[in-house]
Amino acid sequence: MTPLNPTTGIDAELRRLSRWRAGEIAFWLLAASAIVLVSNRYLILTEIAWLGLFALSLDLILGYAGIISLGQAAFFGVGAYAAGLLAKHGLINEPVLALLAAGLAAMLLGFATSFLVIRGGDLSRLMVTLGIALVLRELANRFSDITGGFDGLQGITIQPLLGRFEFDLYGKVGFIYSLAVLFILFLAARRIVHSPFGLSLRAIRNNPLRAAALGIPVNRRLVMIYTIAAFYAGIAGALFTQTTALASLDVFSFERSADLLVMLVIGGVGYLYGGLIGALIFKLLQDRIATLTPQYWQFWIGLILVVIVLIGRDRMHRWAVAVRTGLGRPFEKRTASPAVGASE
Amino acid sequence: MITLLTILFDGIAYGMLLFVLACGLAVTLGLMNFVNLAHGAFAMAGGYVCAVLVNTYGFPFTAGLPIAFVVSAAIGFLMERLLYRHVYRRSHLDQVLFTVGLVFMAVAGVDYVMGSSQTFIRLPDSLQGRFDLFGVGIGRYRLMIIVICGLLTLALQLILSRTRFGSRLRAAVDDPQVASGLGINVPWVFALTFAFGSGLAGLGGALGAEILGLDPSFPLKFMIYFLIVVTVGGASSITGPFLASLLLGVADVAGKYYVPKLGAFVIYTLMIVILIWRPNGLFGRTAQR
């Protein structure tokens, strides 16, 4: 932290914000109980877990730092391909280590591209993030001898977890593994956003000029959170590859980044659980609608988006306060400014 | 040398087409600062209207084009009055979500009605094939595109700079409050401009079906191209987007001819570099709001 002397007031406030609430504990207990209770739907649960992690990565930059991105799939894709290649060529056989390596690869890319992204306003950020994902997709297509091109990586076999637990057909191990990774990274994210660092990010989001005037190194902070978010997205991508043994060009697709925004917005931006809840609702909706009209599911998601925007996100958030009060009490106080203020 | 000229010719035709497709976006995104990712949907609407008229109802292609313009403009007008105007003042995130939602609906809706395969518009014989001009192969269809789009560009420039409507639009964009204080009906000007831009996109979609291809994923596939035209071209005049379109068209055709394996890689990289180097576009001068 910069020369700012944390007074007891800020300290107490931070501690108050970071206290665990009953709703949060219930949320995670419920998630863990899914291992036993919903034992016939492990595959979709696993998907929800890594989607939630992916949405969490977007929440870190969008909800807390106000960086709008249409290209988060870039890091997801790098994580996915990294995990796939590591497993395929037997470079790192142990999944957890490979997961970390894949996350680091994405993180490296995130660090390198963060300097491009933090320049300019919303519009050029949109274009640059979108452009980076597209460039990576083209590269993956170009080097098809490494990536398998349009067919995707073939013949990925994931070794047993920690050398012990074989990934089973029903996906039980995969789900427990994904949930554990999600939980650990969630704890880290929670720690990050409730730290003075997280507080400074919110200051930047609400007013970058004032934050700079207060002595917050705006660009350095943005680079840091963007890099961290890239790590999260990379881990999500690696989990995807490890639990499905797939990695194809569509990991970089625009639709993936757009779906991610949808999820986060459904769940609510800027309180960490938004991404997880959004991923859950999104996936369940998709599952339900897709059985009715498999091909045209996008139509309904589009309609949901349009309706959400027309109603107004802040208004919806006020309706959702009931859910919120359980999961994070300080919200009614906080949202009024961030959810609306961030956007202006 | 000869191939070079042919590539240049094809590139210019492609670029002109991109300009007609994207110039409506240059106004909404560049001037009004509204992120409209759904712009391609209006182009797709025009393309399909023309395709249905020509292929199913036997309209001549030359009649299909103006009808495509009118129908897309009407859709644009309705959408602006009913939906878009509520979102003008919202945050960029809201605008992105809203227009991505519209794109998704358009893609799935057209897929439902028209099927997911490529649609072709039957062209009259007089527009097919190519002839030689001093050894350079000139495609008739592309020549027509250059002529139509060139005339449209000139007309646009004249409308913007010479007519009363043009000055009203510029005033409304510069300062909506003062403009409405002077008695200009700002929402109406925006609605007409939006409708006209959508109509041009529809015309471009109909013209471009032959070159760009027409299938339900059209708005997503070309979204980035339209955005490039506007952001790289800058928003200070229509000359910027016009030059950017030509540059993009020629670069894309040349890239696909000389380094086909790289695909669109060159274009995207160039765009990122330009945006980093000049965030307000190559030809832009106004600061980004």
Residue of A nearest to B102 (CA): A302
Residues of B in contact with A299 (CB under 8 A): 104-105, 108-109, 112
Q: Compare CB distances from B288 to A121, A132, A261 and report the shortest one's residue.
A: A121
Is residue A320 very low, low, confident or very high in pLDDT (cuts 50, 70, 90)? low
Residues of B in contact with A343 (CB under 8 A): 90-94
Count how many residues are written for chain A: 344
- Contact: A123, B231; criterion CB under 8 Å: yes
Interface residue A132 vs chain B (CB under 8 A): yes
| For chain B, the helix, strand and coil percentages under 3-state DSSP, each to the nearest 5 | 75, 5, 20
Looking at the complex, does the CB of residue A144 fall below 8 Å from at least one CB of chain B?
no
- pTM of the shown model: 0.85
Inter-chain CB proximity B268 and A138 less than 8 Å:
yes
Q: Tell if the CB–CB gap between B263 and A343 is shorter than 8 Å.
A: no
What is the pLDDT averaged over residues B154-180?
87
Q: Which residue of A has its CA nearest to B87?
A: A310
Determine contact: A311 vs chain B, CB below 8 A: no
Which residues of A fall within a CB distance of 8 Å from B231? Answer: 123-124, 127
- Chain centre distance of CA B127: 22
- What single-letter amino acid sits at A161? L
Tokens 């007031």 locate to: A9
pLDDT tens for B256-265 read 888 777 767 7
Locate B1 and state its tokens: 């040398």
Whether residue A180 lies within 8 A of chain B, CB to CB, comes out as: no
Which CATH number does the domain housing residue A205 bear? 1.10.3470
For residue A165, the distance in angstroms to the closest alpha carbon of chain B comes to 41
Reference A261, options B11, B92, B58, B237; nearest CA is B92
Residue A65 forms part of a structural domain: yes
**Residue in chain B nearest A305 by alpha carbon:** B101
Tell me the pLDDT tens digit for each residue of A213-235: 988 899 999 999 999 999 999 99
CA distance B141 to chain A (A): 30
Set of chain A residues whose Cβ sits within 8 Å of the Cβ of B255:
none
Chain A CB contacts of B107 below 8 Å = 298, 302
Residue B69 CA to residue B199 CA, distance in Å, equals 4
The answer as to whether A60 is a domain residue is yes
A128 in a domain, yes or no? yes
Listed residue (A198, B96, A35) closest to A206, CA to CA: A198
Given an 8 Å threshold on Cβ–Cβ distance, is B87 in contact with A70? no
Would strands B136-139 and B130-133 be described as parallel, antiparallel, or unpaired? Answer: antiparallel
Chain A residues close to B224, C-beta within 8 Å: 130-131, 134
Q: What is the pLDDT of residues B206-231, one digit of tens each?
A: 998 888 888 888 888 888 888 888 88
- Considering only the beta carbons, identify the residue of A127, A135, A344 that sits closest to B265: A135
Domain total in chain A:
1
Which are the contacts of A81, defined by CB distance < 8 A and separation ≥ 6? A140, A147, A153, A237, A241, A247, A251
A283, containing H or E segment: helix A273-292
Q: What are phi and psi of B136, to 5 degrees?
A: -95, 125
Q: Residue A122: which of B92, B224, B261 has the nearest Cβ?
A: B92
Write the pLDDT tens digit of every residue in A198-218.
Answer: 889 988 988 888 988 988 899
Which of B224, B265, B271 lies nearest to residue A139, judging by beta carbons? B265
Q: What are the pLDDT digits (tens) for A147-182? A: 777 777 777 777 777 767 777 767 888 888 999 999
Asked if the structure places residue A338 within a domain, the reply is: no
- CB pairs < 8 Å spanning A and B: 138
The shortest C-alpha distance from B56 to chain A (Å) reads 25
| Contacts for A88 with CB less than 8 Å, ≥ 6 apart | A153, A155, A156, A157
Highest average pLDDT, of A50-59, B26-35, B220-229, comes from: A50-59
Q: What average pLDDT score do residues A275-294 get? A: 85
**A59 falls within a domain:** yes
**Both structure tokens of B53:** 């008229």
Please tell me if residue A8 touches chain B, with a CB cutoff of 8 Å. Answer: no
- The backbone torsions φ and ψ at residue A165, rounded to the nearest 5 degrees and listed phi first, read -95, 115
Task: Kindly determine whether residue A308 and residue B87, on different chains, have CB atoms separated by under 8 Å.
Answer: no
Inform me whether the pLDDT recorded for B285 exceeds 60: no
pLDDT tens for each residue of B72-104:
999 999 999 998 888 888 888 889 899 999 999
- Where residue B44 falls among pLDDT bands split at 50, 70, 90? very high
CB–CB of A138 and B265 under 8 A?
yes
Angle between helices A95-117 and A218-244 (to 10 degrees): 140
B105 to chain A: closest CA residue: A299
What does the pLDDT average to over B122-129?
77
- Report d(CA B75, CA A301) in Å as an integer: 21
Does A68 contact B93 at a Cβ distance shorter than 8 Å?
Answer: yes
The DSSP letter of residue B136 is E
Whole-angstrom Cα distance, residue B100 to residue A259?
10
Query: What's residue A332's pLDDT?
Result: 43
pLDDT of residue A103: 94
Of B112, B227, B269, the CB nearest to A127: B227
* A108 has a pLDDT exceeding 90: yes
Task: State the pLDDT at residue A336.
Answer: 40
pLDDT digits (tens, 9 = 90+) for A111-149: 999 988 887 777 788 888 988 998 898 888 888 777 777
Give the SS3 label for residue B77: helix
Token readout for A11 is 């300290």
Q: Which structure tokens are listed for A102? A: 């894949």
Query: Contact B45/B109 with Cβ under 8 angstroms?
Result: no
User: Which residue from B minimizes the CA distance to A122?
Assistant: B92
Contact A302 B101 (CB under 8 A): yes
Report in angstroms the alpha-carbon separations of A301 from A276, A282, B176, B201, B208. 17, 9, 34, 25, 29
| Spatial distance between the Cα atoms of B136 and A297, rounded to a whole number of angstroms | 48
Residues of A in contact with B272 (CB under 8 A): 116, 128, 131-132, 135
Output the pLDDT for position A325: 60
pLDDT at A344: 33
Neighbours of B55 (CB within 10 A): 14
Partner residues linked to A165 by β-bridges: A161
Nearest to B87 among A139, A309, A344 (CB): A309
Cβ distance B107 to A141 less than 8 Å, yes or no, reads: no
Residue A202 lies in a domain: yes
pLDDT band at B50 (very low <50, low <70, confident <90, very high): very high
Only one residue has tokens 């055709």, namely B253
Q: Give chain A's mean pLDDT.
A: 82
| B225, B25 contact by CB (below 8 A) | no
What's the pLDDT band for A337 if we cut at 50, 70, 90? very low
User: Which band of pLDDT confidence, cut at 50, 70 and 90, is reported for residue A81?
Assistant: very high
pLDDT tens column, A221-271? 999 999 999 999 999 999 999 888 888 888 888 888 888 988 898 888 888
Among the partner-chain residues A127, A138, A309, the one whose CB lies closest to the CB of B271 is: A127
Q: Residue A18: which domain range? A: 8-252
Interface test with B, best of A289, A305, A311 (most B CBs within 10 A): A305
Nearest CA in chain B to A113: B272
Say if CB B191 and CB B80 are below 8 A apart. Answer: yes
In-domain check, residue A79: yes
